[in-house]
Amino acid sequence: MSGSPLANASFRKLFTAQVIALVGTGLTTVALTLLAYDIAGGNAGVVLGTALAFKMVAYVVFAPIVGGLAHRFPRKPLLIALDVVRAGIVLLMPFVTQVWQIYLLIFLLNLFSAGFKPVFSATIPDVLPDERDYTKALSYSRLAYDLETLLSPLFAGLALLYFSYTALFLSNSVAFLVSAVLILGCVLPNARPPARIGGIWQEISFGLRSYMATPRLRALLCLYAAVSAASAMVIVNTVVYVREALGGTESNVAMAMAAAGFGSMTAAFLVPKLLERIKDRVVMIAGAAVMGISLLYMSTAPGYAQMLVTWWFAGLGLSLVQTPSGRIVNRSASAGDRPAYFSAQFALSHACWLIAYPVAGQLGSMIGIPETSMFMGLAVLAFATIAWLIWPAVDGRSLTHVHEAVDHDHPHTHGPHHEHEHEGWEGPEPHVHAHRHKAERHSHAFVIDDHHMRWPS
C-alpha cells in the first residue's frame, strides 16, 4: 500500500480532473445566478429554484438508466464523451435569451452529469483496489467538494473584476475539456462485464433493485435522508436566519456557510484513521446523531457565535456520513456491477434532496427557522435510528446461502457459478448457451447480482 493514493498516476489524473471540473461547475453556478437576474430580474430566485428542480429530476431519473447500461460501453471513451458533451452544453449558455432555454440547458447538462458522476465514482475502486487507499481517496474527494464550495465564489468574484460572467461559462467548458484530456491519459483497468439476465428493463432497473435488496444499502439510504434534511437546513435557511433573526450581513451569511464547510473538511481528514479503529456503521450513524443534535440546538435560536459552532458540528456530521459512503456501495457490489450500484446511490440520494430542499424552505417560511430546526432535527435522529436497526451489527462479507437449481442462459465466464460441460461450439468466454445451475449451499463474499437476488436470512 502506498502512503498516499496520489502516488498512483491514474488516480492522480482522475482526482485532478475531478477538482478542475468541480471548480468549473462552481463558476457556472455563480454565472447562472447572474444570467437569471439579467433575464428575469426580481424573479431570478424563482428561475433558479426551478432550474435546480430540473437538475434534481435529471439526476433522479437518468442516473439509474445510464448506470444500468454503462457496462455495454467502454468506460474510458464513455467518460471522455460525457465530458466533451458537457463542455458543449455550457458553451451555449452565454447565448441564452429566454427562461425556458435556461431550464433546457440545465436539464441537459445535468442529464449528462448524471451519467458521468456515478461511472466516475465506480472507476476509482478499480484504480485503487486496496481499501485503505480507497478510503483516503474518498476523503480527498470530500475535501475537493468542500473546497469547491468555499473557493469557487472567491474565484468567480476575482474573475468578475476583469471579465463578464460569460467568461465563467467559458472557464467551465474549458474545465470539462481538460478533465477529458486527463482521463484520456489515464490507464484504467478493464471492467469485467457482468452476466445480466433479462431484457433492457431488467438491466436499467438492476441497480435500484439490487441496492434496495441489500440491508446495509437500505440503511445508507436512511442516512442520506438524514444528510439531506440537515444540509437543506444549512443551505436553504442559513441566509434567512442570519439576515432576518440575527440582523447579520451578507458576510455573516458566508461565514456561517463556511463554518459548515470547515466542519466537513475536519471530518474528511479524520475519517481514514477513524475507520481503521471503528466500524463504518458506528462512524456513520454517530455522524447522523451529531447532525440531529446540532439541528435540535438550532431550535433554541442561538446567537451568531453559537450558530457558527453549531454549523461546524453539523458539517462534521455530514462528512462523517458522506465520506465513507463509497466504501459501503463498493463493498456491496461486484466489480462489473459497480456503475449500476453507484448510479442507484446517486439517484436515490438526490431524490432525498429533491424532497428536503422544498420542505426546509416551505417550513422555514411557514413556522419559522427554530421550529423547522426542531422538526428536521427529530427527522434526522429518526432516520439514524432506522439505519441503526436495519444495518446488521454483524455485517461480514462472506455469507452462507442456498442456491436453488435453475436452467437458463446468459453471457458468462467460468467460475464458482458456471462449471459445466461444453460441446465445443460455444466459443471463447464470455459466451451464451443454455446451462444448468445445480442446487447448492455454500459461503463466499456475498453481493446481490443475477445469481443472488435475495439477501440470506
Pick the CATH number of 211-391 from 3.40.50.150, 1.20.1250.20, 3.40.50.1370, 3.40.50.980: 1.20.1250.20
Give me the mean pLDDT over the 168-189 stretch.
90
- Looking from the CA of 237 toward its CB, the CA atoms found within 13 Å total 33
Pick the CATH number of 9-187 from 1.10.1740.110, 1.20.1250.20, 3.30.465.10, 3.90.25.10: 1.20.1250.20
pLDDT at res. 159: 78
| pTM as predicted | 0.80
Local confidence band at 13 (pLDDT 50, 70, 90 cut-offs): very high
* Residue whose C-alpha is closest to residue 311's, from 257, 366, 375: 257
pLDDT at res. 183: 92
- Per-residue pLDDT at 425 exceeds 60: no
Task: Taking the CA atoms of 442, 447, 449 and 452 in sequence, report the sign of the dihedral they define.
Answer: positive
Local confidence band at 316 (pLDDT 50, 70, 90 cut-offs): very high
Give me the mean pLDDT over the 50-79 stretch.
79
Alpha carbon 389 to chain centroid distance? 24
Triad 37, 39, 40: Cα angle to 5°? 65
Among 8-12, 106-110, 178-182, top mean pLDDT goes to: 178-182
At 438, give phi and psi (nearest 5°): -75, 150
pLDDT at res. 451: 59
- Per-residue pLDDT at 324 exceeds 70: yes
Query: Which residue in the block uniquely carries the three cell numbers 446523531?
Result: 289
Q: What is the pLDDT of residues 194-228, one digit of tens each?
A: 555 555 666 667 778 888 888 889 999 999 999 99
pLDDT at res. 444: 47
pLDDT at res. 161: 78
* Residue whose C-alpha is closest to residue 10's, from 75, 56, 63: 75
The proportion of the chain whose per-residue pLDDT surpasses 70, expressed as a percent, equals 79
Least confident range from 139-143, 389-393, 413-417: namely: 413-417
pLDDT at res. 195: 58
Task: Taking the CA atoms of 168, 173, 174 and 176 in sequence, report the sign of the dihedral they define.
Answer: positive
Residue spans in the chain of domains classed CATH 1.20.1250.20:
9-187, 211-391
Among 45-49, 290-294, 403-407, top mean pLDDT goes to: 290-294
Is 402 exposed, middle or buried, given 0-12, 13-18 or 19+ CB atoms closer than 10 A? exposed
- Per-residue pLDDT at 75 exceeds 70: yes
Local confidence band at 1 (pLDDT 50, 70, 90 cut-offs): very low
Does residue 316 contact residue 221 with C-beta atoms inside 8 Å? no
- Per-residue pLDDT at 191 exceeds 70: no
Q: What is the pLDDT of residues 345-380, one digit of tens each?
A: 888 998 999 888 888 888 888 888 899 999 999 999
C-alpha dihedral over 352, 354, 355, 358, to 10 degrees?
Answer: 140
Q: What is the pLDDT of residues 80-92, one digit of tens each?
A: 999 999 999 999 9
Alpha carbon 441 to chain centroid distance? 36
- Per-residue pLDDT at 119 exceeds 90: no
pLDDT at res. 377: 97
Cα 369 to Cα 115, 264, 366: the distances in Å are 36, 22, 9
